[in-house]
Each structure stands twice: as structure tokens, then as C-alpha cells.
Amino acid sequence: MTTQQQYYQDEVVKRLVQFSVAWAVVAMAAGVYVAAELLWPTIDFGQPWLSFGRLRPLHTNGIIFGFGVSALMATAFYSVQRTSHVPLFAPRLAWFVCYAWQLLVLLGGLSLLIGWNTTKEYAELEWPFDIAIAVLWVSFAIIFFGTIARRRIRPIYISNWFYGALIIVIAMLHIVNSLALPVSLTKSYSLYAGAQDAIVQWWYGHNAVGFLLTGGFLGMLYYFLPKHAGRPIWSYKLSVISFWAFTYSYIWAGPHHLHYNAIPEWVQSLGVVMSLILLAPSWATLINGVMTVSTAWEKLKTDPALKFIVLSLAFYGLATFEGPMMSIRSVNVVSHFTDWTIGHVHSGALGWNAMITYGTFYYLMPRLVGTELYSTRLANVHFWLALAGTMLYIISMWAAGVSQGLLWLSLDDTGELAFGFRDIMASMAPYYGLRLVAGLIFLGGTLLMAYNFYMTTRSRTTVRVEPPIVDPAYGVVT
Amino acid sequence: MDRTISRYLFFRTLYEPKVTFEVLAESDPSAWKVFSGYSVWLLLLPPVFSWIGAYNFGWRLGAAEPLMLATSTLTLISIAYFLTLLFGFYSTAVISRWMAATYGASSSFGRHAALITIVGQPLAIASVAHLFPNVFFNVLVMIPTMLWSMYLLYSGIPIALETPPERGMLMASSLVGWLLVAAVSLLGLTMGLWTAGLGPALGV
């Protein structure tokens, strides 16, 4: 009897990484442009599609759905095959998801530019796109869980638990939050109204941050960090405990986005308490990551990718501490509606999400095509640009945010607000200038990486890798 | 404190940091002597400059009117600032020594205290910018200074604490993580104090 030779489906992984890098460049460029618009408002040239209101959702959707989700799909497909010791389930469906997702992001982005918008933050795309997202997400689930179901190794590795939670929870959040009554092809009305709408929206919004930008990327960390380091994870038990604690506590924290709003106070308080509890599982992962990498220091000599992962852990620690702190009401009353929030989001998005993704991509791309990275020097330059850009961004937004919070809560001798909104915003221009420089530096680094990958993979084919023989002690009995 | 070290610590760190780190690597100074002879004076600079600047000119946050605070409030804030810096210095030195075991670095507490002092020295000196209490001006001065301090941290750990550069890089990154968290805690604490009524009059 002959058995057909099986190989991992890595071509689709490579394509998804390429799309992810392309979206990073496009969406970060959009971010730089809107940052410049805050400094020079007239550079929209009177064109509605170039206005801040339309470009800003393009920036956020491009980063989250284009750059982020493509990276998560690529790394989930890569790691689930290797941790299950089987090729991807339904490879044609994987190719369909790969291209259809890019088409969705492209058309969705264009729809935002022409002004279709549900006005729900991070869920701006109108109902036809929402249906397409749901269909593609379920397809993603079929591929991922189908691969796990066919696995030849008994344990389900921790990264797959995080990717699995990402897939299940995002499906739930997206479908519930997007329930709406369409009145035309381009317009729909949410099924929820008033305070309920706000609660559902921030249950979605916060957990999109939680399960996509945190949980999904933790899946990436738990697979690629030990691979990079050539060591097992420091404490597997701690990773499992932190997974369940993370999954349980994150889902309740959304109401902290709605402090001092028309929702019940006990709901706000519950959001604060769960946000503070969340610190424990977040930092359990941080400790696990730091201790894993601390034993693999020799690798730093030759591997620029590991530096990105090390630094991403520092910013992960910052962002997951800052978030719960900002949920405390006496801090939130000053920080909310200021640029501090924007700084916080970017300490996570640039420092954690982008850095861990860059580190992972620098690991993946040369291996996918079986060669060395085109230029380690360029990767090192990219590292310092990414660090400088992120630090400059955060510091300028901290200073701007604290100044704003102080100024628009200041009272004069008669008890009236001392400063007008317009004056305060006008005085923020210098900080916005610094932020623009920070964005340009970070984008410059991303462009260097794109060039490095182009030169690395140019005219090379994807290496074919066979699943290894499974140790019978760990194998699934079939 | 060892006389050679003290000679190096004070000024030479500013233009020849690597030599200072090498000298530090060959000594085992007393933590108390480093603190009392050197660190505490640097830690006093930012609150003193900030008191003088805010008392005379008021903080300018970008809006037309500077923010003038009552002398008693200003003194209280400056004392809190000093105590926070003191706590930051001590806790960072303790954490640095705690991390040393993981990264194979020297466990001499005096050396950790001296290293943290050298790293923080540019920031303490640059706090002279507080004499001109304009927030944006201070941000402009502090950002390059902070980059210089980060450079001192990354380059100083492997030499002064005698660990391979790669392990030193990991330890420095871990300390940067701690310092970022400390910085943001300071912001949060300040907001909490403002909301509680210590500081500017806010409509909360």
C-alpha cells in the first residue's frame, strides 16, 4: 500500500504575510495622513473622501482587519499545522479565505471613503460587509478547527487555545454587535438603541481589543517565542491558567469605556473591577514570555527578530498595566476624551501588536522560502526606528492628553470652564507635529521591512515541509 | 564611596560614560554612600527647579493663561515629586538587583544603585528645563535626554554589571518595561491626586 506524501500548506501562509505587510504600509500611511490633517486641516483639499472623518476609519480598519487579521490568519495557519502535525484542513477554502478577505478589506475601505459608515467604532462597515465578514470568519473557523480535529498529536498546544478563543469570541461579538435593520444597500440601523446600543458596542469594541489584538497575538507569542528561543515555554501550567483567567475576565471589562455616561453605575463599577482583575492573567503571560526569552540570550547575537519580540513584551506590559489604570474612574475623568487614550491605543498597537508581528514575520519569511534574510542590518535599523517611533508617539500623546484633561476641566474664579475647546485644540498643534514625526519614523521602518522581504522572497518558491513522525506516546489513537 | 568612583561619577559620565562603567565594574561601592553622596542631590534637582519655575511663572500648558498654584500646594506637590523620585530610584535599584540573578549580572547593590544614578543623571540635569515651565518645551528637552538615558542603560548594564551584551540587552529591556510602567503609574497617581483636590482646581 502506498500513502500519498503530505506537505504543510505554507504557500497560503506566505501570501497572507505579504498581504499583511502591504496593508500595514497602506493603513499606516493613512494614519500618517490623518495625523498631518490634525496639524494642517486644509490638506483634505475640500474632498470629502480625503476628510479626517473618512480616512480615520480607513486607517483603523486597515490596521485591524487588513494588517492584523491577515497576520493572525497567516500565523494561525502556520502554527496549527505544526502543532497538529497535519497539513491544513480544506486548503482550497484557505485560499478562498485568503483572497476573499483581502477583497473585503479593499472594498470595505473604499466604502468608507465614499461615506458608508454605521458610526460604530471599529465596526464601521455597513451590513453587506458584515455578512461577508461573518461568512469568511466561519470559513476561517472551519479550516482552523478542522485541522485540530484531524491532528495526529493528542495535546492541543496553548497557542491554539488562544487562536481558538480569537475565532469563537470574535464571531460572537461581530454577529451580535452587527445585528441591524437594513433600509438600503448602503444604510442600516442597529437593532439596539440608546444606552443598550452603547453597552453592546463597547462589549464588542473592548473585546475586539481583548480577543483579537491581545488574545490572538498571544497565540502568536506562545507559538513563535519558544520557536525563536529554541526553548519550551517557561511554565506551561502558568500559560493554561492565564488563558482561562484571561478569557473569563476580559469579556466583562467593556463598560469602562462608558464612565460617567447614561449606563447604570454598577455596570461601570463592574467594568472597573474586571479590568483590574485582568492585570493578573495579562502579567502572568508577560512573566512567562520574559522568562522564556531570558534563557535564550545567545540567539540575540544572530537573530534580529528576537529583539522585536523582547521589546513587544515590554510594551505589552505597559499597555496591559495602563489600560486597567485608565479604567479607574478618578483617572478616567481626566484621561477620557483626551489624546492620552490615543497614546494608550498606540502603545498597544505599535509597541505590542506591530512589534510582535514584525518579529514573527522576520522569523517566518526566510524560513518559508528556505534562505537567509536579505539584510540583517536593515532589520536592525528597522528595530531602532520602530522603538524611536513608538516612544515618541507615546510621550507626545501623554503630554498632549494630560494637558487637555487639565485644561478642559479647569475652572475660573466664577466657577465657569476656564478654556474653550477650540483654543485647547489649537494649542495641541506642537504635540501633533511630534506625533506626525513619530508616525513617519514608524512607517519608514515598515517600508524597510517590506523591501527586505521583497528582496528575501524575490524569485524564490515556498519550501515544502513534511509533517514529522509523531512520538507514539503523544499520538492520537485512530 | 570609593574616591576614584566618585571622581568619575560626577562629571565624566556625561562625556565618557563607557569609562565610568568600566571603573564601576572594577569596584564594589557602598549603596548608602552612592545614595547620600550623589543620588539624593540629583533627585532634589527636578522638584527644586519645578518649584522655582512654577512659583515665578506658572505652568504653561498651551492655553493663554499660565496655571498658577498656591505656594502651599506647590510645596506639597514638590515634596510629593521628590518622594516619588526617591521611591522610583530605590525601587528601580532593587528591581535591577532582583533581575540580576536571571540575567547573570553582578549582585552588588551598590553597583546597581550607582548604575541607576548614572542612567538617571541626564534626566535630573535636564530638569533645569522646569525653570521655564512650558509643557511642550519640557517635552522637547526631555525626549532626547530620555533617549540618551536609554542608551546609557543599554550600554551600561553589560559593562558595569559584567554580563554578556545579549543578556544585558534583555535585562535593559526588562528594566525599560518596568520604567514605562512606573512612568504611567506616576501619571495615573497624579490624575488621582488632582481629582482628589490636590493640585489645580478641576471641575470634577
Cα separation, B54 vs B120, in Å, equals 23
Residue A420 parent element (H or E):
none
Q: Select the residue of B143, B146, B188 nearest A325 (Cβ to Cβ).
A: B188
Residue B100 parent element (H or E):
helix B71-103
pLDDT for the residue numbered B163: 92
- C-alpha distances in angstroms, B88 versus A295, B24, B36, B116, B123? 28, 22, 16, 10, 13
Name the least confident of A85-94, A96-105, B43-52, B167-176. Answer: B167-176
Cα separation, B138 vs B57, in Å, equals 14
Q: What are A387-439's pLDDT values in tens digits? A: 999 999 999 999 999 999 988 888 888 888 888 888 899 899 999 999 999 99
Between A43 and A470, where is the model more confident?
A43
Residue A178 parent element (H or E):
none
B168 pLDDT more than 70:
yes
Return the SS3 of A12.
helix
- Please enumerate, as own/partner, the contacts of B56-61 that have beta carbons within 8 Å and a separation of 24 or more: B57/B132, B57/B133, B58/B133, B59/B133, B59/B134, B59/B135, B60/B133, B60/B134, B60/B135, B61/A403, B61/A406, B61/A407, B61/A427, B61/B135
Q: What are A278-324's pLDDT values in tens digits? A: 999 999 999 999 899 888 888 877 788 888 998 899 999 999 999 99
Q: What average pLDDT does the segment B9-31 reach?
A: 83
A212 pLDDT more than 60:
yes
pLDDT for the residue numbered A1: 44
Contact across the interface for A419 and B63, Cβ inside 8 Å: yes
Instruction: Please tell me which residue of chain B has the smallest CA distance to A322.
Output: B184
- What integer best gives the mean pLDDT of chain A? 94
Torsion angle (degrees, nearest 10) of CA A251, A252, A256, A257 = 40
pLDDT for the residue numbered B64: 66
- Closest CA relative to residue A116, chosen from A200, A205, A54: A54
Cα separation, A77 vs A144, in Å, equals 7
Query: Mutate which of B102, B139, B189 to disrupt the A interface (most A C-beta within 10 Å)?
Result: B139
Q: Which residues of A touch B142 (CB under 8 A)?
A: 395
pLDDT for the residue numbered B197: 82
B16 pLDDT more than 50:
yes
DSSP percent split of chain A into helix, strand, coil, nearest 5:
75, 5, 25
Domain ranges of chain B: 3-192
- Closest CA relative to residue A354, chosen from A446, A292, A440, A453: A446
- Closest CA relative to residue A228, chosen from A312, A163, A120, A315: A312
Residue A180 parent element (H or E):
strand A180-184
Name the least confident of A170-184, A252-266, B26-40, B51-65. Answer: B51-65
Contact present, B100 and B110 (Cβ < 8 Å):
no
Instruction: Please tell me which residue of chain B has the smallest CA distance to A299.
Output: B166
Contact present, A453 and A393 (Cβ < 8 Å):
no
Query: In chain A, pLDDT over 90 holds for what percent of residues?
Result: 85
If you count residue pairs, one on A and one on B, with CB atoms under 8 Å apart, how many are there?
A: 132
Cα separation, A173 vs A196, in Å, equals 15
> Model-level pTM greater than 0.80?
yes
Cα separation, B1 vs B35, in Å, equals 10
What ipTM does the predicted assembly reach?
0.85
Sign of the Cα pseudo-torsion (A309, A315, A317, A323, in order):
negative
Q: What average pLDDT does the segment A78-96 reach?
A: 97
Q: What are B91-148's pLDDT values in tens digits? A: 999 999 999 988 989 989 999 999 999 999 999 999 999 999 998 999 999 999 998 9
Contact across the interface for B195 and A334, Cβ inside 8 Å: yes
- Model confidence at A371, pLDDT cuts 50, 70, 90, reads very high
Q: Select the residue of A300, A398, A417 nearest B169 (Cβ to Cβ).
A: A300
Q: Which domains can be identified in chain A, with CATH numbers?
A: 11-457 (1.20.210.10)
pLDDT for the residue numbered B2: 54
Q: CA of A429 to nearest chain B CA: how many angstroms apart?
A: 9
